[in-house]
Structures are given as C-alpha cells and as structure tokens.
Amino acid sequence: MRAATSELVRRLDGLVPETALILGSGLGDLVDSVTDPISIPFGDLEGFPQSGVSGHAGEIVAGYMADKPILILSGRAHYYEHGNADIMRLPIEVMQAIGVKRLILTNSAGSLREDIPPGSVMMISDHINWSGMNPLIGEADDRRFVGMTNAYDAPTMEEARVASKAVDVTLHEGIYMWFSGPSFETPAEIRMAKLLGADAVGMSTVPEVILARFCGLDVAAFSVITNYGAGMTGGELSHGETKEMAPQGGKKLGKILLAMLGASNQ
C-alpha cells in the first residue's frame, strides 16, 4: 500500500482532494467535467486492481470539479470478476491515506419500482447485502465490527437533495440490494427483492461502502437506473443495455454532483 500511496501523492503534485468519486459502468463521461485533469492508469499504482469489465476505464482522474479538488476512480473491480469481496480495499485505504474524507460511489442498477424508470437517478439511502459476502471477513481485530446504522452520510445526502432541486433534476431515494452477479437476477429473485424492501438491484458498491466505513470515510452513493428488474418488462437484460442507458442518467447525476460539490465546504 505504501508504494501506491507515495506514487499517487507524487503524481497529484500537491493536489489534496477531500472528496473521491468511484464511477460505475457506463458513467465514465463524468470525468469530462474535471478541469486540469491528471490521469493515472491503475496499472501505475502497485496493488490497484484492474477491471476487466467493458465500460470501465481503469484509471484515476484527479483535478477540480466545480473548483473543488477531486479524485475520481474511473472504473472499479467487482466481486464477480475475482470472487474477492475486498478487491477494492487497497484503493480505498490509499485514498484515506492521502487525505480523502468522503467517498461518493456511483453504479448502474436495475429498478424494482415502476415510478423510478430507466434514465433516473436514485440516491442510496440504505442497502441490503444479499451476496452473503463481506470484505471484512478474515480481518483480525475488533475493528472488523463496523457499525452500519449510519453508513450513508446524512449531511451529504441533504447536500445532494438541495443540489438536485437547484439543477431541477429529480433525485429518487431508495434501498439498493447487492447481488453478486455476474448473471442478472431471475424474475423470481426480483419479486423476492421487492418483498424484502429493495428499490434497486446491482452488482457493486456494497463492499466498497463497508470498506469505506471501516476506513472512517463518509459515504454517499447513487444509482443510475439503466433498466427495470428482470421479468418486469418481459425483455432479456444485457450488459449492452446497461452501457447504452447509463450515460443518460449519468448526465443527470453529473449535474447533481457538480452542484453539490460547488455548494460544499469540503
């Protein structure tokens, strides 16, 4: 971790971002809002995982968004690529080590709610870990017992609500349920997820939320809805659809994030 941390500090050349952003599938366009960008391929940072998922760039882009220093991980590794729930541990620890205080996660997700259609943005207010996996399994000491009651930072969520009103973009809120993937859910699983209280389903984010809370970072997370859950419309789901639909909601999310960072005192 030390090698990656010192290399990142060297490449950032004095930039100290307090907010970091992880971009999900098809949401890479958000880096276009970064001014004075510094790009660092994950491959240049020892121990950073490579993402083999198409639609994920696999680089850090650091610079300014709304005149605030920001560090963006464009692309993430997923549990379903390797079977390691803690695959994002090193990048999150490195971010904490360079002074990041707040992590904003984004993903693409399937909606379980007719009133949250594809192209919408949903702020995650809480999650259900349906995978049975946890990135802290095997952690040796009592630090592993991380409280998750306030996993999603209330002040940041309020900033997002205010920002969404300022830019006139509807921001839904709901519960995200983590399925391991990589196969999509079955219609029966989607019906179950609804019964259990979920509003959206996806294959990422939850392990990173747990790791970020373990590292003491504040967390907020947003889903861009790319489709209705399996069986809700009759059509088959595909990653192609995710990549095609994500940029639409991604633009809306970009507006919210820019307004949010602009108004933030971090």
Residues interacting with ligand HPA, by CB under 6 A? 108-110, 179, 184-185, 201-203, 226-227, 229, 237, 242
Nearer to ligand HPA, 46 or 189 (CB): 189
Query: What is the phi/psi pair of residue 134, to 5°?
Result: -150, 130
User: What is the number of other CB atoms lying within 10 angstroms of the CB of residue 212?
Assistant: 27
User: What is the number of other CB atoms lying within 10 angstroms of the CB of residue 183?
Assistant: 11
Nearer to ligand HPA, 156 or 226 (CB): 226
Separation between Cα atoms, residue 66 and residue 102, nearest integer Å: 16
Length of the chain: 266
Q: Taking CA 198 as the corner, what is the angle to CA 232 and CA 227, rounded to the nearest 5 degrees?
A: 35
Nearer to ligand HPA, 182 or 216 (CB): 182
Dihedral sign from CA coordinates of 85, 90, 93, 98: negative
Nearer to ligand HPA, 102 or 172 (CB): 172
Furthest-apart CA pair in the chain: how many Å?
52
Separation between Cα atoms, residue 36 and residue 73, nearest integer Å: 16
The residue nearest ligand HPA at its CB is 110
**Rounded least distance, CB 185 to ligand HPA, Å:** 6
Nearer to ligand HPA, 100 or 201 (CB): 201
**Rounded least distance, CB 84 to ligand HPA, Å:** 19
**Rounded least distance, CB 252 to ligand HPA, Å:** 16
**Rounded least distance, CB 191 to ligand HPA, Å:** 13
- The SS3 assignment for 72 reads strand
**Rounded least distance, CB 247 to ligand HPA, Å:** 13
**Rounded least distance, CB 219 to ligand HPA, Å:** 19
Separation between Cα atoms, residue 189 and residue 241, nearest integer Å: 20
Nearer to ligand HPA, 102 or 113 (CB): 113
Token reading at 27:
């949401």
**Rounded least distance, CB 145 to ligand HPA, Å:** 29
Amino acid at 14: G
Nearer to ligand HPA, 184 or 214 (CB): 184
Dihedral sign from CA coordinates of 54, 208, 30, 152: positive
